Amino acid sequence: MLLRSTERGLYCEAGDFYIDPWLPVDRAVITHAHGDHARWGSRAYLGSREGERVMRTRLGADARIRAVEFGETVMLNGVRISLHPAGHILGSAQVRVEHGGEVWVVSGDYKTEADPTCTPFEPVRCHTFVTESTFGLPIYRWVPDAEVFAGINAWWRSNAEAGRASLLFGYALGKAQRLLAGVDPSIGPIYAHGAVERLNLDYRAGGVPLPETRNPAAAPKGTQFGGCLVVAPPSAAGTPWMRRFGAGSTAFASGWMRVRGQRRRRSVDRGFVLSDHVDWPSLLGAVQATGAECVWVTHGYREPVVRWLREHGLQAQSVASRWEGESDEADVLPEDAASPASAPVAETEREAE
């Protein structure tokens, strides 16, 4: 068996490295920069060139990171490692591991629909596929992005005409930038929470086109925010930071908005179904595209996926992990604080999408 599950994460004994370990190790191969996959404290990291900037923002400037291009081969103790696009966030990668004629692929978090903020997902042929299953239930089926953003723009436009601010919550890394890339900036000015703006800088430096954003903390005293769009992490909801915007309208963009009652639980006015993870049909299609005979299913709704795969002739098993899927996140540093160049941006809550 090329990989095995340990108390520190997925381990390749032949190559002596871990994939997305949740405890510090000597060698960590990282699929992407979300806090449940890129943990601080390992001696050395391997990640994608596309995701290097956001990895350094999250892990700190002093982190020892080797960045490689998608498809580039790295040899560790005779094991061939390569990274391939996962389409989840900027730099997100699937990890292909080959040794002794056996090929495994670890998906990390992924989605198969393309968006302008990252390299699109590419299926990779393998013998064993380790897939996430954050939304591994038949009820989770996404609508086209164009339809989602038409709804977001209509909501913002309606609020702007009424003189209200539109506060749109989305995870600071990945989701926030996808929202910014998809909205219509002609409707009004756009503000970004400091946790979002720090990562916007990385995306822009990586060549991702985003509309102009302003930091509300830097706005002159007395600034009126009516008609603007504010993109902020979910952790900002209900905090004193929100008071400057007055009686605005709130919304949350997440795959969880597909389930009735989530909008009420989140105490927001609107919910927009937009996820950076595969839905049910895309997950099954991705598995099929790998040609894998064996599938490990990890985090999320594992058992329904395992059952479906077994019923369709595949060897499938559920593998527990500490990867979180899609959940709330927040930065330790306050929104108005500057992040020291040598300090990692950490999370106090679980992070996902």
pLDDT, tens digit (0-9, with 9 covering 90-100), for 209-261: 999 999 998 999 889 999 999 999 999 999 999 999 998 999 999 999 998 77
Q: Final residue of a domain: which of 272, 300, 335? A: 272
Q: What is the pTM of this model?
A: 0.91
The CATH number for 237's domain is 3.40.50
Does residue 104 share a domain with residue 119?
A: yes
Does residue 263 share a domain with residue 223?
A: yes
Does residue 309 share a domain with residue 267?
A: no
Does residue 303 share a domain with residue 196?
A: no
Q: Which residues touch 331 (CB under 8 Å, ≥6 apart)?
A: 172, 195, 233, 345, 346, 347, 348
Structural domain containing residue 8: 4-139+277-319
Does residue 119 share a domain with residue 195?
A: no
Does residue 129 share a domain with residue 30?
A: yes
**Pair of tokens at residue 39:** 């943990």
Residue 103 has pLDDT above 70, yes or no: yes
Q: Which residues touch 283 (CB under 8 Å, ≥6 apart)?
A: 131, 133, 135, 136, 305
Does residue 281 share a domain with residue 266?
A: no
Does residue 262 share a domain with residue 219?
A: yes
Comparison of pLDDT for 161 and 299, the residue scoring more: 161
CA dihedral over 107, 109, 112, 117, signed as positive or negative: negative
Residue 352 has pLDDT above 90, yes or no: no
The pLDDT value recorded for residue 120 is 98
The pLDDT value recorded for residue 262 is 75
Residue 315 has pLDDT above 70, yes or no: yes
**CA 21 – CA 33 distance, rounded (Å):** 12
Report, as an integer, the average pLDDT of 123-152: 97
Residue 332 has pLDDT above 70, yes or no: no
pLDDT digits (tens, 9 = 90+) for 37-91: 999 999 999 999 999 999 999 999 899 999 999 999 999 999 999 999 999 999 9
Specify which residues 17 forms β-bridges with: 12
Number of domains in the chain: 2
Residue 345 has pLDDT above 90, yes or no: no
Within-domain flag for 336: no
pLDDT digits (tens, 9 = 90+) for 165-189: 999 999 999 999 999 999 999 999 9
Residue 328 has pLDDT above 50, yes or no: no
Within-domain flag for 349: no
CA 73-58-110 angle, 5° bins: 55
The pLDDT value recorded for residue 323 is 64
Report, as an integer, the average pLDDT of 106-114: 97
pLDDT digits (tens, 9 = 90+) for 192-202: 999 999 999 99
The pLDDT value recorded for residue 81 is 98
Residue 301 CA, distance from chain mean position: 18
Q: For 183-197, 289-303, 338-352, which range has the lowest pLDDT when averaged over its residues?
A: 338-352
**Pair of tokens at residue 269:** 């006015």
**CA 118 – CA 132 distance, rounded (Å):** 19
Report, as an integer, the average pLDDT of 333-348: 35
Does residue 238 share a domain with residue 253?
A: yes
Does residue 265 share a domain with residue 296?
A: no
Q: What is the residue whose two structure tokens read 């998906």?
A: 107
Does residue 121 share a domain with residue 19?
A: yes
The CATH number for 135's domain is 3.60.15.10
